[in-house]
Amino acid sequence: MSRIQTVFAELKAQGKKALIPYITAGDPHPDQTVPLLHALVASGADVIELGVPFSDPMADGPVIQRASERALVHKMGLRKVLAMVRDFRETNQHTPIVLMGYANPIEAMGAAQFVELAKDAGVDGVLTVDYPPEECEDFNQQLAQAGIDSIFLLSPTTEPARTELIVKQATGFLYYVSLKGVTGAGNLDIVEVKKRVTEIRQSTSLPIGVGFGVKDAATAREVSAIADAVVVGSRMVLAIEQSDVNNLIPNVQALMKELRTAIDSV
């Protein structure tokens, strides 16, 4: 099994749900990314989504857009992100890392080289927002051959036929976007989320993570009751944005512990 599959299997055996925080690589400064990754693990992260900064992020709301802008000031690129994962792997061989980003940096590097370097660095999953399932079968096969999971998004507007197409290619887990719009937008309708997650489960045995609308511990608790994983992005990045170098790690860990406690209380 992949690292992602192993973690979800372990959590299921314990009757627990996964907590998946998202941070943007290089935000607020490249020197702080690897320490942040370790701090997230120490405070309860089961899987980490590491965002690859991009200048035109179509799925990201203003909070994560600002994080990309801060990272790009420091010339953050895909190779530097992979180097961070490699550094993290020197002392952590257990926690899965999922790269979340866009097709342009991968296309610029070349898919084959990206897969090779990602495998070498210790990347466990790749979620490419703008690679539609109809156009990335070859890429997914390359990832599979390298032992890297292909993570896909499903949304409230995903039609049943498209859901079937996605679940045939997805591995690791599925990421259900709990609301229409970009990251951090609006408030999720937990009744509707439960309905859609139940429908998706009829098509797949993969774990289902829910994100894009988890803004606090109370919401995390509600989501954990119906999903296999809770993904926290904009709220985590906002905690980073509102911190300085002295309280960055304590603030992030305090938020993580609130979320972890809420999820484990279900």
Residues recognised as catalytic: 49, 60
Per DSSP bridges, beta strands 149-150 and 152-154 are: unpaired
Phi, psi of 47 (to 5 degrees): -140, 150
